């Protein structure tokens, strides 16, 4: 119920109560509100109508809501009907009884016997008055006869005597024109007597006389003159005597007025008044009944309106907490755990809403906590997964039957194969991994054998083994092309049973580096050991030649010279080889100084191209290249080496190949170091469009004695790598993707300050 409606109802009810009170007060037989009674009635009806409109608005609204099945309307409708019925039924019962009661009471007031008694009384009064009048009439007649025989002078005395004797009010003689002739009153100062009117005189002349009862007070009269008490008046004509009585010959009239005795008059008057009042009430009793019934009906209407209004208010009051609860339950069922409003009433309904509120709060908290935990778990899982994914080592998880459960990205990177589609399959079933799976199974079995044999409770937690597998699946014949994996495996205790986990790393590079170091050692030792005998051999050979030169035949001398030359040459060659080894093994330490790489490159290229910019060799040098810290000689050696390799790569090409092209590129590289600071490095790239690196060379290019060239020691790139390592740089070789060809990139991190 809206606020406006409620105020209007309250105001209307108050107004109607006041008006009804006035109406009820005016219903009794007082003169209260006599004049404007119909106005009061009309006003009451108007207000009742207004209240009716308001109530019907409420009811229509409720009905519409019920039809639309708006939430809460059914409960409200039921409550309103119940409370309204409780309020209305007693009122209706009382009303019916009251109406009957009033009607019967009013009817019972007006008894026929009372009416007839009053009428009889009135008739009695009339008879009494009539008889008195007749008596006076008779007296008047007699007096008239007497007066007819009297002379005028004696008439006055006669009149006076008559007046005194008969207690008349007055006795006068008048002419036909109502002119006073004689009067029986003694005092002259008395007021003029009431003279008969012409109508009276006419009647007196026509009939035997005029007689009437006059006076009597009137109700509600605001008369200015005094009340006229009841009196009798008789006018008779005085018969004309034979004697000369009349002066002008006109007729004379005698008028006698006699007041009705006091108590007779008062009784008659009281009777008349009572009769009048009774008749008034009797005539108006239907109106009175109507008044009562209308008042009762309006009261009933007011009671009904009050009942319906309070029914609405009570129903709203009761229904609100229930509806809140229903709404809340629905919301919770749909998963909405936001806080619900509570009713702060002290009774159980209020407690219910409060408990409900507390319950939803707890549910909400629990859910939030669960969500948070789940999110944390999720985050932890994602973190672990990312750690696992970004691990450089490959992790393979298998179940008890060596079926692949999961593997991380590094596995695919190392083994160069996607295993997404193989999840759930036995490892042995995957073709490319047959050797791998065989090795793993063997390792696991020997581990279990070992732990069983040792009999100790403290098992070996994991095994470690080096496994070699073919690098790619498309070149299985390449014996040399293997990658070495360092694998560790252990058992994974899972919920029901046991799984296996294998972690492996590609240690080919490590092994390659170790091999380089080993070679270095060997080279150094060998160089040292071999060099020693070489000099005596050469010296001996030269001495032989010197000593035996003139002592032999020509044919033998020729043989001696040739042999000696061969020995000397080969020894020279061996010395050179040993020197190379020694150079490789003992590279002088780098002397770092600031140098401009671009200038160095241009100087070296100039040697190759001789100033000819069009040709095989092309340079793309970054203009603002920062200066690097480097050893000029060694860097020069590197550049020469790379250019040599490039030239060698593009030298033997098929006829229809595009023209050879060697690019030398320098550029600045921006990166972020471990402390998230911005750093700058310099990259030098040498690219050619030759045949590119074969996969075998790519893996081991930096190891000594790895070469694709038919000649050469294969030490070039190894030296380059050693020098770069001393410069704290990085070198990377790869095949170009745009054309066939190789690209060698050197990253120099140490810049000039």
User: Which residues sit at the interface with another protein, rule CB under 8 A?
Assistant: 26-27, 29, 31, 33-38, 41, 122, 125-126, 129, 212-216, 218-223, 230, 268-269, 271-272, 275-276, 279-288, 290-291, 294
Residue 563 is inside which H or E element, if any? helix 554-585
Strand, coil or helix: what is 214? strand
Six-digit token pair at 382? 């994602």
End-to-end CA distance of the chain: 85
Closest to another protein by CB, 205 vs 524, is 205
The structure tokens listed for 354 are 């409060």
Least distance CB 313 / another protein (angstroms)? 35
DSSP string, 444-479: HHHHHHHHHHH--SS---EEEEEEEEES-TT-TT-S
* Shortest Å distance, C-beta 309 to another protein: 29
Taking a C-beta distance cutoff of 8 angstroms, is the pair 590, 630 a contact?
Answer: yes
Q: How far is CA 430 from CA 355, 389, 421, 438, in A?
A: 63, 22, 10, 11
3-state secondary structure (DSSP) of residue 699: helix
Q: State residue 541 phi and psi, 5-degree precision.
A: -65, -40
Q: Which residues sit opposite 663 in a β-bridge?
A: 618, 687
Of 271 and 665, the one with the shorter C-beta distance to another protein is 271
Token pair, residue 33, equals 């509100």
Closest approach, Cβ 220 to another protein, in A, equals 7
**Residue number, 111 or 480, with CB nearest to another protein:** 111
CA separation for the pair 492, 489 (Å, rounded): 9
Residue placing its CB nearer to another protein in the complex, 264 or 513: 264
Buried b (16+ CB within 10 A) or exposed e, 629-661: bbbeebbebbbebbbebbbbbbeeeeeeeeebb
Nearer to another protein, 3 or 224 (CB): 224
Q: Least distance in Å: CB of 174 to another protein? A: 19
Q: How far is the CB of 106 from another protein (least distance, A)?
A: 10
- CB-facing half-sphere around the CA of 21: CA atoms within 13 A: 5
C-beta separation of 146 from 166 below 8 A: no
Strand partners, 743: 687, 734
d(CA 143, CA 254): 8
Whether the CB-CB separation of 629 and 592 falls below 8 Å is answered with yes
Closest contact distance (angstroms) between CB of 219 and another protein is: 7
Two tokens at 175? 């002419």
- Compute the least distance from the CB of residue 282 to another protein, in Å: 8
Of residues 124 and 375, the one with the C-beta less far from another protein: 124
Identity of the residue, 65 or 289, whose beta carbon is nearer to another protein in the bound complex: 289
What is the closest distance, in whole angstroms, from the C-beta atom of residue 116 to another protein in the complex? 14
Give the span between the Cα atoms of 639 and 630, in whole angstroms. 13
Cα–Cα distance for residue pair 657/96, rounded to 1 Å: 123
In the complex with another protein, the residue whose CB is nearer, 129 or 388, is 129
Rounded CA-CA distance 357/352 in Å is 9
Minimum CB distance to another protein, residue 277 (Å): 8
* Nearer Cβ to another protein (91/121): 121
Nearer to another protein, 122 or 534 (CB): 122
* Residues composing the chain: 753
Collapsed DSSP state (helix, strand, coil) of residue 527:
helix
Q: Nearer Cβ to another protein, position 199 or 674?
A: 199
- Least distance between another protein and beta carbon 344 (Å): 53
Q: How far is the CB of 231 from another protein (least distance, A)?
A: 10
Tell me whether strands 628-630 and 593-595 are parallel, antiparallel or unpaired: antiparallel
**Rounded least distance, CB 145 to another protein, Å:** 27
Q: 428: which DSSP letter?
A: G
Min dist CB 21 to another protein, Å, is 16
Pick the closest to residue 722 from 612, 532, 584 (CA basis). 584
Nearer residue to another protein within complex by CB, 123 or 606: 123
* Residue pair 168/162 in contact by the 8 Å Cβ criterion: yes
- Cα 44 from Cα 38, distance rounded (Å): 10
Residue number, 34 or 553, with CB nearest to another protein? 34
């Amino acid at each position: 119920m809206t606020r406006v409606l409620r105020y209007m109802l309250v105001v209307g009810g108050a107004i109607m109560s006041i008006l009804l009170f006035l109406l009820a007060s005016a219903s009794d037989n007082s003169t209260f509100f006599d004049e404007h009674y119909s106005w009061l009635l009309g006003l009451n009806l108007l207000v009742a109508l207004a209240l009716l409109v308001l109530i019907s608005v409420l009811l229509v609204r409720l009905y519409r809501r019920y039809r639309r099945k708006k939430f809460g309307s059914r409960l409200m409708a039921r409550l309103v009907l119940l409370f309204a019925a409780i309020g209305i039924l007693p009122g209706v019962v009382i009303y019916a009884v009251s109406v009957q009661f009033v009607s019967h009471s009013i009817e019972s007031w007006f008894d026929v016997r009372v009416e007839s008694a009053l009428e009889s009384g009135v008739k009695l009064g009339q008879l009494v008055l009539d008889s008195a009048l007749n008596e006076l009439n008779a007296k008047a007649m007699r007096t008239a006869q007497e007066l007819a025989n009297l002379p005028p002078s004696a008439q006055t005395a006669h009149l006076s005597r008559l007046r005194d004797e008969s207690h008349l009010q007055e006795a006068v003689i008048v002419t036909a024109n109502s002119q006073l002739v004689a009067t029986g009153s003694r005092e002259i100062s008395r007021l003029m007597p009431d003279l008969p009117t012409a109508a009276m005189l006419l009647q007196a002349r026509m009939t035997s006389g005029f007689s009437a009862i006059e006076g009597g007070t009137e109700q509600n009269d605001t008369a200015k003159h005094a009340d006229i008490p009841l009196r009798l008046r008789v006018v008779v004509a005085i018969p004309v005597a034979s004697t000369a009585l009349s002066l002008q010959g006109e007729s004379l009239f005698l008028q006698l007025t006699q007041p009705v005795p006091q108590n007779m008059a008062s009784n008659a008057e009281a009777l008349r008044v009572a009769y009048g009042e009774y008749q008034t009430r009797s005539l108006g009793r239907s109106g009175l009944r109507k008044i009562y019934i209308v008042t009762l009906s309006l009261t009933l209407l007011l009671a009904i309106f009050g009942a319906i209004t309070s029914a609405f208010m009570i129903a709203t009051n009761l229904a609100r907490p229930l509806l809140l609860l229903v709404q809340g339950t629905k919301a919770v069922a749909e998963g909405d755990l936001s806080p619900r409003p509570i009713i702060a009433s002290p009774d159980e309904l209020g407690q219910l809403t409060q408990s409900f509120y507390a319950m939803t709060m707890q549910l909400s908290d629990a859910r939030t906590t669960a969500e948070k935990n789940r999110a944390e778990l999720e985050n932890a899982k994602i973190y672990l997964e990312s750690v696992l994914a970004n691990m450089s080592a490959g992790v393979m998880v298998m179940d008890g039957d060596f079926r692949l459960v999961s593997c991380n990205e590094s596995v695919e990177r190392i083994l160069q194969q996607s295993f997404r589609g193989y999840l759930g399959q036995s490892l042995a079933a995957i073709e490319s991994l047959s050797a791998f799976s065989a090795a793993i199974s063997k390792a696991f079995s020997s581990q279990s054998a070992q732990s069983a044999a040792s009999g100790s409770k403290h098992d070996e937690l994991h095994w470690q083994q080096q496994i070699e597998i073919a690098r790619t699946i498309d070149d299985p014949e390449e014996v040399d092309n293997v990658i070495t994996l360092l694998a560790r495996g252990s058992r994974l205790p899972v919920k029901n049973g046991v799984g296996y986990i294998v972690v492996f790393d590609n240690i080919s590079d490590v092994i390659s580096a170790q091999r380089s170091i080993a070679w270095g050692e060997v080279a150094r030792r060998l160089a040292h050991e071999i060099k020693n005998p070489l000099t005596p051999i050469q010296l001996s050979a030269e001495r032989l030649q010197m000593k035996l030169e003139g002592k032999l035949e020509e044919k033998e001398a020729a043989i001696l010279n040739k042999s000696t030359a061969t020995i000397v040459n080969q020894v020279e060659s061996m010395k050179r080889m040993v020197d190379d080894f020694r150079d490789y093994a003992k590279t002088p330490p780098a002397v770092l100084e600031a140098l401009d790489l671009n200038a160095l490159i241009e100087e070296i290229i100039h040697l190759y191209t001789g100033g000819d910019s069009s040709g095989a060799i092309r340079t793309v040098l970054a203009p603002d290249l920062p200066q690097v810290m480097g050893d000029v000689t060694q860097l020069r050696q590197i550049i020469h080496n790379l250019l040599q390799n490039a030239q060698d790569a593009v030298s033997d090409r098929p006829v229809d190949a595009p023209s050879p092209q060697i690019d030398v590129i320098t550029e600045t590289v921006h990166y972020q170091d471990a402390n998230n600071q911005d750093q700058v490095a310099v990259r030098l790239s040498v690219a050619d469009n030759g045949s590119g690196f074969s996969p075998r060379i790519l893996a081991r290019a930096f190891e000594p004695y790895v070469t694709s060239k038919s000649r050469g020691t294969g030490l070039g790139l190894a030296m380059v790598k050693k020098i770069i390592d001393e410069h704290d740089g990085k070198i990377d070789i790869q095949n170009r993707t745009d054309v066939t060809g190789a690209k060698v990139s050197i990253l120099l991190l140490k810049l000039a300050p």
